[in-house]
Each structure stands twice: as structure tokens, then as C-alpha cells.
Structure 1
Amino acid sequence: MKRRDFLLAASGVAGGTAAAAAPAGAQQTTTSGGGNQSGGNGTGGTQTTTSGGGNQSNGNQSSGNQSEGGGGGGGGSETVTVGPGGELVFEPAELQISPGTTVEWVWESDTHNVIPTSQPDGAGWEGSGSESETFDTGHTYSHTFDTEGSYEYVCIPHESAGMTGTITVGSSGGGGGGGSAEADPEHMGVPFQAHYVGIATILMMVMSLIFTFFFLKYGESPHTSGGNR
């Protein structure tokens, strides 16, 4: 093989590999937690848009039931069953939610209440009932939790039987501090596979340059034959 023919072939391989890598690196992923979203036009790339977070509403409550809510809203809703099947428990007893979530307690047995025993400063959660006031099957009560932190509550008549509950609003880790976590390439809008393609392209180009250098330095093999010799 002549020098000129080899250089042309090596240039074609490197150029083709780089061209193949470009579309993979151009991919883009966009995630949205809010309303509708549309992405701009791209050349040679692939764009994926995900949208979510529709409207949410709480069900109607019959007369005589008690309801209470904060102003936030829009954070979804959760249901806690009070005394399911006559058992002296809240179900679920532990609940983790995002700020702005509305929790609804639904009574399925008699003589229960929901009384806060611990909550974050300024939360202002009052619960449903008192030491002398309880409610029976069919009663419902709701509250929207906007303040982050841990909330603990009990059913006073059955506290000694273990009828207690906990609600965690926000991150379970609480308080800030620690260093930021390492960013995931997928969350940065760059598909992880593109890194592999880029590395492979660089290696191919480096290997081509090294091979070309040695070929030019030491010349053609004495055993090769060409048309013009």
C-alpha cells in the first residue's frame, strides 16, 4: 500500500467515526414537573419532553364532617384510615409527603380522634377532636401540610394501646449541610451513552495519528508493490 492511499483511508475512518458520534452526543432529554412544555427544533438530535402534574382535587365531604386546610394546595393528597376494621391503629401509621400535600383522615370505627403531640414551630396544626371529644365511623378530617418537618399525633382514648401516627413533610434527612451529590449525566440532559461514543472517537483518532506517524517515519514495506515502480 502506498503512503498516499493509506493517508486517504485513515482520514476517511476518523471522519466517519466523528460523524457517527455527533448525533449521539446531540441527544437531549427534558423533564418537567409542571404544565405543558415544548422544545425547540434541533438538527440531527433527538429531544424527549415529559410533562406531568395535572390538577388535583379533594373529594366532597358530607355534612357534619370536619375539614381544615392550609393555603398551599397543589401538592396532591393522601388518605389515612382511622381504626380500620375496628383495630386501634392509624393506617398508614407513618407517612412521608411533599409540602402542600393534603392528608385526609377517614374514620372506619368509633370513638377516635387525631390530636397532635409534636410538630414544627409555626405549623399551627390543631388536629380533630380533643381529650373529651371523639368521632365515630363516617367522620372525615383533612389538613394541608405546608411546613416541612416531623408531625406526631395520637388517638387520645387509645394512645396506651399504641394508636399513634407520624407524618414527615419534605426530606426525611431534614436540615441542610452536606455537600451536593454528584450530578447524574442523564439529569443534565446528556444521554450517558454519548460519553462512551465520544471516548471511542478520541481513541480512534489518537490511534490513527500514531499509526500514521510510524508509517511515515519508517516508510513503506519493501515487499509492497505499486503501479508506478
Structure 2
Amino acid sequence: MKRREFVRTAGGATAVAAAGAGATGTVAAQELQPVWPSAVTGANLGTYQDARGESEVTVQVGAGDSGLAFDATKLWVDPGTTITFEWTGNGGAHNVQNVEGPASLDSGDPVGEEGATYEYETSEEDVGITHYHCVPHTAVGMHAGLAVGEDIETESAGGGGNTGWPENIAHVGVPLHAHWVGIAAMLGISLTFVFTFYLLKYGESAHTGHGGSQ
């Protein structure tokens, strides 16, 4: 195979592989999440749960290693879902209180007892995104978000536009093989450059294919 033929073939194959990997990544990144307030996206723990279709869901109050988080930190439910906030007993006394948004979350005074609960049933009046926090620990990042219903603003998982590479494949459900395809494509591109450089520098002589040197 002539040097130029090799370069065309290798480059074309790599381009096809890269295009396929990019397409796979783009499709994988299309899962939508609510557009959370910045205090929610920067909150402790940062777990996300799409609980639409479920009639009941539990949120831990005092989650994480330090006991200063809500789990799930970001929760999406339907109107009519009953949310049970359950205290872990860790991190001191906590409460649940609305900061901004339609849901009227208010568990009252902070409590630290393990097993304490506060129930809230969502309704059509709660449709939208609500930012809530623990009053005693708001300064240290104990914030969370509640999205209710379908009539809310959403974005591709990971935010910041569609790059084809989600931030966390465990959260957005990206099949692992899609990433192996992307890695293989990048490896192919790297090998193309290496072989192209080698052939340009040490490739065929002017007499190759003509019986050797004259």
C-alpha cells in the first residue's frame, strides 16, 4: 500500500469511528433534568432521583458523611406524590424549609432525633421547581431542590450544553460501551498521527517496487 493510500485509509476509518462515537455520546447525553437553582446544584451530596410515576418517596435529612445533606438532593416527582422526609440523627438538628418556589415546605423547628419524619404531599399548586434548605446549616451547603410535574424548564443532563460526554454516567444512564467506543476512536486518531509521522519520515524510497536501487 502506498504511503498516501495508507494515510487516506487510516484517516477515513478514524473519522468514521469518531463520528460514530460522537453520535452515540450525543444520544446518550439527551436525558433531561430540571434546571436547578445554583444553590441546589452546588449543594452537599448532590444526588438526583427521578421519582415520577411513584406515589411515595423518602428523602433522608442529615445524609452524607457529615450528616449535612439531603438525599436525594435533587428530586423530581408528580403532583400527588407523598414525600416523607426522614431524619438520620446525624449532623445535629435539622429542619426542612422553603427558600424559593411554589411548594410550601416547612417542617417547623429543627430536630435531631433519628427516625423523626415530616410528610408533604405535592399538588398541582406545587408544579415547578422549589429550592429548600435546612435553616441551621444553610451556610454550609445543606440545600436541596424539588421539581414537581412536567411543566418545568429542563436541560440535558450535566448542563453546560451538549458535549456528548455526560458528567456522570451512573446518574444519566449512559451505557458503558458508548464510552469504550469513544476511547477507541481517540486511540485510533492517535495511532494515525504516529503512523503518518513514521511513514513520512521513514517511508518508501523512490525506487520501492522497481527492483531495489539502480
Point out which structure has higher relative CO (alpha carbons under 8 A, 6+ apart): 2
Q: Please give the range of the TM-score, normalised by the shorter of the 2 chains.
A: 0.3 to 0.5
- TM-score w.r.t. structure 2 length? 0.41
Over alpha carbons, which structure has the higher Rg?
1
